[in-house]
Amino acid sequence: MKLLTSCIFLLLFYTGLAQLSDREIMDLKTGRRKEDTSYIYWLPYAEKKSFLLIQASNSQISHKEELSLDFKMKKGSKICAARGGIVTSARGDSDKGGLKEENLHDGNYIIVQHTDGSIAKYWHLEKDGVFVKVGDTVQQGQVIGASGNTGYTAFPHLHFQINDATGRQILTRFYTRRGIKYLRPGNWYKCVHP
């Protein structure tokens, strides 16, 4: 019970950190907000590969009040650094996954800190699917892991999220085959390197 209470507290704390409203997210996605100086990321998978974005920021399934992305991919798909940085945390020893509360802490992941203090989080990697270790410097586009189905998850996918230096979740935009975009769920996105 203590574990559940702690998880709920952490979830409420981190999701309540000044998230963007649905209106602000829509303004960014549709281009109504013109002056955008945010960093432009590479998609977090191999160049020329395409994956379906099944859930995006503030989606109603499980990303309500959360600025993160879920890409549907088969187990073992290559995960690449969306931006260069230093690996600050990683786990790759779990083989547990599913929609049970007991799986909340069983996900394999990689966390990379960037030069501006922001961090990228790559979740649900397969067992032994973490190809970097804490302290490694990674380059943008470098293969760092393999997708999986570990932790609290219903199917294989990559959960990707960026937090700024203060810990606040931020909406991300990417280089795509159709230009620089904020991603929308239900679309396939091909990874291109400018």
Domains defined along the chain, listed by start: 2-190 (2.70.70.10)
pTM score:
0.81
3-class secondary structure, 164: coil
Q: How crowded is residue 90: how many other Cβ atoms within 10 Å of its Cβ?
A: 21
- What Rg do the C-alpha atoms of the chain give, in angstroms? 16
What are 33-53's pLDDT values in tens digits? 667 788 999 999 999 999 999
The residues that bridge with 45 in the sheet, in sequence order, are 79
**Residue 53 burial by Cβ neighbours in a 10 Å radius (0-12, 13-18, 19+):** buried
Show Cβ contacts of residue 57 under 8 Å, excluding neighbours closer than 6 positions: 20, 25, 63, 66, 67, 68, 69, 171
Query: What is the C-alpha separation between 69 and 32, in angstroms, rounded?
Result: 21
Q: How far apart are the first and last CA of the chain?
A: 49
**Per the structure block, which two tokens stand in for 94?**
């779990």
Q: Are β-strands 173-176 and 40-41 bridged in parallel, bridged antiparallel, or unpaired? A: parallel
Q: What is the pLDDT of residues 126-171, one digit of tens each?
A: 999 999 999 999 999 999 999 999 998 989 999 999 999 999 999 9
Farthest-apart Cα atoms in the chain, separation: 49
**Confidence at 59, pLDDT banded by 50, 70, 90:** low
